[in-house]
């Protein structure tokens, strides 16, 4: 994992570099059984260099709690490592420049389950251009690692009525973790 971070270095591969305060690489257990992928850092993540530390991060920590997990038990990263201005959606050239690194992070952690947070992360790991409604609940895998796609925590903060659905997705994560072979 250190090698990947070193390779990113003071990354200037896309235009997001000029506006960032910190590159947000990823945190947690590099040998985790569960890896979470989000979209891109927001303001607080850009300030601290850590993914999911703002309001949506606090909800994510609670979601992990329902699985009996703490942040340090899992690995958390984003598809895009630098904050898009005004939190706009990442653009195709930014995704093209940055996504090889999230793929390498996933391959290095080699988790038992991947939880993709939101449409953007789900599309990147499942590699299908479809709405989240079609990606949720379907069997998908990344090099034989099962993927569960769920709502992004910031969407859940805006639309709390969907939390029930997200809990269902988390139950699927729990079942998949329990079913995964040990070791």
40 binds ligand URA per the rule CB under 6 A: yes
Q: What is the DSSP letter of 48?
A: H
Distance CA 38, CA 31 (A): 18
35 binds ligand URA per the rule CB under 6 A: no
Short-list 125, 129, 127, CA closest to 145: 125
Check: CB of residue 87 under 8 Å from CB of residue 47.
no
CA atoms within 13 A on the CB side of 128: 17
Strands 145-150 and 140-142: antiparallel
Binding segment for ligand URA (CB under 6 A), chosen from 36-44, 89-97, 138-146, 167-175, is 36-44
146 binds ligand URA per the rule CB under 6 A: no
Residue nearest ligand URA, Cβ-based: 38
Check: CB of residue 53 under 8 Å from CB of residue 153.
no
Among the listed residues 39, 46, 94, 169, the single contact to ligand URA using CB under 6 A: 39
Mask: binding to ligand URA, 73-112, rule CB under 6 A, as x and -?
A: -----x----------------------------------
Binding segment for ligand URA (CB under 6 A), chosen from 6-14, 41-49, 131-139, 172-180, is 41-49
Distance CA 105, CA 32 (A): 11
Tell me whether residue 87 or residue 133 sits nearer to ligand URA (CB atom).
87
Provide the binding-site residues for ligand URA, judged by CB under 6 A: 38-42, 45, 51-52, 56, 78
């Amino acid at each position: 994992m250190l090698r990947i971070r070193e390779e990113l270095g003071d990354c200037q591969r896309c235009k997001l570099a000029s506006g960032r305060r910190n590159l947000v690489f990823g945190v947690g257990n590099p040998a985790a059984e569960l890896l979470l992928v989000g979209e891109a850092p927001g303001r607080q993540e850009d300030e601290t260099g850590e993914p999911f530390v703002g309001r949506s991060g606090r909800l994510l920590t609670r979601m992990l709690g329902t699985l009996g997990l703490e942040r340090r038990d899992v690995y958390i990263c984003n598809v895009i490592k630098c904050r898009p201005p005004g939190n706009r959606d990442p653009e195709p050239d930014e995704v093209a420049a940055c996504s090889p690194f999230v793929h390498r992070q996933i391959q290095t952690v080699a988790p038992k389950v991947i939880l993709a947070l939101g449409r953007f992360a789900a599309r990147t790991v499942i590699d299908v251009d479809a709405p989240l409604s079609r990606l949720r609940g379907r069997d998908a895998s990344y090099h034989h690692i099962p993927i569960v796609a769920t709502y992004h925590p910031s969407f859940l903060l805006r639309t709390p009525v969907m939390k029930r659905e997200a809990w269902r997705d988390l139950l699927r994560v729990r079942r998949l973790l329990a079913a995964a072979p040990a070791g």
